[in-house]
């Protein structure tokens, strides 16, 4: 069965390490914060200028001067730092963030990512996504494996305008966890009960299937 959004977040959370500075995009990436393993501490960077994003505020704590990059009211945890947008993107562009998790429309076997623009549809902008994908060494893309119409999002070449070129090495979909290497997707893990055949069928890009493709487990 395809992973739920929560399971996707749970799986991504396994890539966290104690002491990681992490930037989480909007949507499923945001949920990852709920699955930080016990005894592990990560620090969330929000690109509007907050390192050490805390929980949502209580009604009493709501402060219009304290928001995250998704424009939601948030709090800062103890030991947080707040700074300008220039400083925030110095961190991001300079490769100081350990892990970035973000959604996408398409990823291709060259590690290109398209996530911000569908020609003909209204274009709202890339926000910080282009900076994030260009700056991080360590990016995990989360998205469904195929569109609602069954069209693969893991392509030999992105069809939509790119967010970044050659910058994605890891993709978690609702069906599989894959790594991108030498122009191919390498199938590393599959969702519980999802067959290699189904994944192969729904992967338009070049797919390498190792002898062993372990099934993910969730508690």
The least distance separating other proteins from the CB of residue 218, rounded to whole angstroms, comes to 24
Which residue is catalytic, options 6, 15, 47, 106?
A: 47
Report d(CA 96, CA 109) in Å as an integer: 26
- Contact (CB, 8 A) for 174 and 191: yes
Is there binding between residue 131 and other proteins (CB under 8 A)?
Answer: yes
Site for other proteins in 67-86 (CB under 8 A): 67-68, 70-74, 76, 78-86
The H or E element spanning position 79 is: strand 76-82
The least distance separating other proteins from the CB of residue 10, rounded to whole angstroms, comes to 20
Of the candidates 2, 7, 32, 19, the residue with the CA atom closest to the CA atom of residue 140: 32
Choice from 28, 42, 140, 146 touching other proteins (CB under 8 A): 42
Is there binding between residue 111 and other proteins (CB under 8 A)?
Answer: no
Report phi then psi at 75, rounded to 5: -120, 170
Task: Annotate each residue in 140-159 with x if it binds other proteins (CB under 8 A) or - if it does not, as one string.
Answer: --------------------
Is there binding between residue 48 and other proteins (CB under 8 A)?
Answer: yes
Told to judge if 47 belongs to the known catalytic residues of this protein, a careful annotator would answer yes
Report d(CA 136, CA 113) in Å as an integer: 13
């Amino acid at each position: 069965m395809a992973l739920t959004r929560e399971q996707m977040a749970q799986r991504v959370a396994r890539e966290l390490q104690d002491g990681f500075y992490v930037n989480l995009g909007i949507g499923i990436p945001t949920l990852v914060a709920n699955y930080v393993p016990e005894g592990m501490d990560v620090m969330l960077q929000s690109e509007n200028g907050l390192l050490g994003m805390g929980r949502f505020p209580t009604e009493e704590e709501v402060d219009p001067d304290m928001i995250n990059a998704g424009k939601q009211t948030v709090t800062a945890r103890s030991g947080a730092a707040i700074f300008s947008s220039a400083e925030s993107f110095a961190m991001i562009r300079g490769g100081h963030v350990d892990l970035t998790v973000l959604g996408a429309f398409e990823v291709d076997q060259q590690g290109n990512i398209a996530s911000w623009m569908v020609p003909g549809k209204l274009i709202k902008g890339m926000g910080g996504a282009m900076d994030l994908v260009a700056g991080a060494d360590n990016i995990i893309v989360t998205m469904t494996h195929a569109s609602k119409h069954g069209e693969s999002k893991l392509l030999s070449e992105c069809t939509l305008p790119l967010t970044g070129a050659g910058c994605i090495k890891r993709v978690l979909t609702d069906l599989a966890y894959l790594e991108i290497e030498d122009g191919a997707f390498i199938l590393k893990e599959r969702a519980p009960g999802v067959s290699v055949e189904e994944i192969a069928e729904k992967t338009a890009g070049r797919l390498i299937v190792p002898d062993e493709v372990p099934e993910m487990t969730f508690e």
